[in-house]
């Protein structure tokens, strides 16, 4: 398998912030609107042939970050670059690379393949149209050949059987494969797979991830793979030698290789996600809930200091007032936004907090000792 090359980023996010106001539009001029910061000052490079998996709970901003990375969402702060070209400058007509090319190079497959396919179009039409649009010089025969080869490659064989079907005549897994094939036909540099396997049965997920990896090998594609499931993220990242990024309330709170994140997580939130991931085999962590409250804080009213402090079992006084920056851990690219990553931080002398000290939102009942003993 071709090796990922993180040193030549396909997409670079630099200090990206995305804010939404409750009027749904761009940030208003009036100060009384409720503002949700979906992505807060995130920097991330996605390298050539690299797989970066992004995990976190719903509402943590992972989909918004993903859409921003492929130029489908304009950031309110920071920059998004495709091979060095600022995506939004290109969009505004001030770039060296045409925006159309950027759009073709950055593709998306999402959770519901049914909605991504036109119900009134046969599979053949759905697959041929994009090639026709992006490769107008190909003959009909050449286009057909590409479609046939790729469908057979993803196990939809014989291809002509499937090409004449309508989406409703396909299973969920087959639809998702058609959507993946359609994205690949454009020969993109990066595919955002936003919960692309979450709607599939557990038993079909490995198959779909294997297909994505196989196609990556052929097309040299990078993936930004979004999932709320750590075991899926770990599977695809480990097979591809990729990285895992953990998001919480708009920030990447920890990022590193699979070994670093799965075997040696630093951030208490990563540890909580690992705890919550049910495994079939092996020892179970027979500990208490590693969070103090079940419910995520209101995103329109983020906690001060470290965003995780209201749920964090390790939170101390300093965490309630200071937001930890990304600390480097070891020599690799491993980073965590937690004071505990810094052995000399004042955190260690800071008093522990009790549940009464935190401003847990109403309804966010404490998950105390009675819950997990």
Partner 1 sequence: MSGDARRSVGAAPDAADAPNDRRDTVFEVRGLDVAFEMSRGRSRVVRDADIDIYREETLGIVGESGSGKSMLASSLLNAVVEPGVTTGDVTYYPPDGGDPVSVLDLSESELNRFRWEEVAMVFQGAMSSFNPVTKVRTHFRETLQDHERNIPAGMDRARDLLESLYLDPDRVLDSYPHELSGGMKQRALIALSLILEPEVLVMDEPTAALDLLMQRSIVSLLRELQAEYDLTLVFITHDLPLLTKLADRITVMYAFNMIETGSTDEILYNASHPYTRALLAATPDLNVAVDEMHAIEGSKPDPVESIRGCSYHPRCPLADDDCRSEEPSMFTVESGHEVACYHYEQAAEAIPLRGDANSGRGGGTDE
Residue 79 has which token pair? Answer: 């920059």
Is 296 one of the binding residues for partner 1 (CB under 8 A)? yes
Residue with tokens 């990242």: 237
Q: How far is CA 1 from CA 4, 121, 183, 185, 224, in A?
A: 9, 35, 21, 20, 18
Residue 261 sits at φ, ψ, to 5 deg, of -80, -40
Ordered alpha helix ranges (H), 228-338? 230-240, 258, 268-276
CB of 276 vs partner 1, minimal distance in Å: 4
Identify the residue among 33, 231, 302, 350 touching partner 1 (CB under 8 A): 231
Is 291 one of the binding residues for partner 1 (CB under 8 A)? yes
Choice between 234 and 334, CB closer to partner 1: 234
Choice between 155 and 325, CB closer to partner 1: 155
> 241: phi > 0 → left, psi -120 to 50 → alpha, else beta; which?
left
Choice between 164 and 171, CB closer to partner 1: 171
Choice between 77 and 241, CB closer to partner 1: 241
> 62: phi > 0 → left, psi -120 to 50 → alpha, else beta; which?
alpha
Q: Which of residues 130-169 bind partner 1 (CB under 8 A)?
A: none
CB of 288 vs partner 1, minimal distance in Å: 10
Choice between 99 and 223, CB closer to partner 1: 223
> Distance (Å, rounded) from C-alpha 234 to C-alpha 206?
11
Is 272 one of the binding residues for partner 1 (CB under 8 A)? yes
Residue 190 contacts residue 69 (beta carbons within 8 Å): yes
Choice between 228 and 345, CB closer to partner 1: 228
Is 24 one of the binding residues for partner 1 (CB under 8 A)? no
Stretch of residues binding partner 1 (CB under 8 A), selected from 4-12, 33-41, 68-76, 282-290: 282-290
Residue 257 has which token pair? Answer: 């290789």
Identify the residue among 16, 39, 230, 244 touching partner 1 (CB under 8 A): 230
> Distance (Å, rounded) from C-alpha 196 to C-alpha 45?
21
CB of 343 vs partner 1, minimal distance in Å: 27
CB of 348 vs partner 1, minimal distance in Å: 27
Identify the residue among 118, 157, 164, 279 touching partner 1 (CB under 8 A): 279
CB of 177 vs partner 1, minimal distance in Å: 11
Is 122 one of the binding residues for partner 1 (CB under 8 A)? no
CA atoms within 13 A on the CB side of 199: 18
Stretch of residues binding partner 1 (CB under 8 A), selected from 21-29, 79-87, 108-116, 292-300: 292-300
Which residues, at least 6 apart from 136, have a Cβ–Cβ distance to it below 8 Å? Answer: none
Which residues, at least 6 apart from 115, have a Cβ–Cβ distance to it below 8 Å? Answer: none
> Distance (Å, rounded) from C-alpha 370 to C-alpha 373?
6
Identify the residue among 32, 286, 349, 352 touching partner 1 (CB under 8 A): 286
Is 342 one of the binding residues for partner 1 (CB under 8 A)? no
Residue with tokens 């998996």: 53
Residue 224 contacts residue 10 (beta carbons within 8 Å): no
Total binding residues toward partner 1, as defined by CB under 8 A: 51
* Per-residue interface string for the shown chain with partner 1, residues 172-201, x marking contact by CB under 8 A: xx---------------------------x
- The strand pair at 51-55 and 106-110 is best described as unpaired
Q: Which of residues 79-108 bind partner 1 (CB under 8 A)?
A: none
> Which residues make up the interface to partner 1 (CB under 8 A)?
57-58, 171-173, 201-207, 210, 228-232, 234-235, 238-239, 262, 272-284, 286, 289, 291, 293-296, 362-363, 365-367, 371-373
């Amino acid at each position: 398998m071709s090796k990922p090359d993180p040193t030549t980023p396909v997409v670079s996010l630099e200090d990206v912030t995305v804010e939404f106001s409750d009027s749904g539009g761009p940030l208003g001029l009036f100060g009384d609107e409720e503002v949700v910061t979906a992505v807060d000052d995130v920097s991330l490079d996605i390298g050539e042939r690299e797989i970066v998996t992004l995990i976190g709970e719903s509402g943590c901003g992972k989909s918004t970050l993903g859409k921003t990375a492929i130029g489908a969402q304009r950031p309110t702060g920071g920059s998004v670059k495709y091979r060095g070209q600022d995506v939004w400058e290109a969009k505004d007509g001030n770039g060296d690379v045409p925006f159309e090319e950027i759009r073709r190079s950055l593709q998306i497959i999402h959770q519901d393949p049914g909605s991504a396919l036109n119900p009134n179009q046969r599979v053949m039409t759905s697959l041929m149209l994009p090639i026709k649009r992006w490769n107008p010089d190909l003959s009909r025969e050449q286009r057909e050949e590409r479609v046939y080869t790729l469908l057979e490659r993803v196990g939809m064989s014989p291809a002509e059987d499937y090409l004449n079907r309508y989406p409703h005549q396909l299973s969920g897994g087959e639809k998702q494969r058609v959507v993946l094939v359609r994205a690949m036909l454009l020969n993109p540099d990066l595919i955002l797979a936003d919960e692309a396997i979450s709607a599939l049965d557990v038993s079909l997920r490995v198959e779909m991830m294997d297909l994505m990896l196989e196609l990556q090998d052929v097309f040299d594609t990078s993936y930004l793979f979004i999932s709320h499931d750590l075991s899926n993220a770990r599977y695809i990242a480990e097979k591809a030698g990729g990285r895992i990024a953990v998001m919480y309330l708009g920030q990447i709170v920890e990022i590193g290789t699979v070994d670093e994140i799965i075997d040696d997580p630093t951030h208490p939130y990563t540890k909580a996600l690992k705890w919550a991931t049910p495994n079939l085999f092996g020892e179970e962590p027979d500990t208490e809930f590693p969070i103090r409250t079940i419910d995520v804080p209101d995103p329109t009213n983020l906690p001060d200091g470290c965003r995780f402090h209201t749920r964090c079992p390790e939170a101390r006084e300093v965490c309630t007032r200071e937001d930890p920056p990304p600390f480097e851990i070891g020599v690799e690219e491993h980073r965590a936004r937690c004071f505990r990553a810094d052995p000399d931080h004042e955190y260690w002398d800071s008093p522990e907090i009790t549940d009464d000290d935190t401003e847990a939102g109403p309804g966010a009942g404490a998950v105390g000792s009675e819950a997990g003993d």
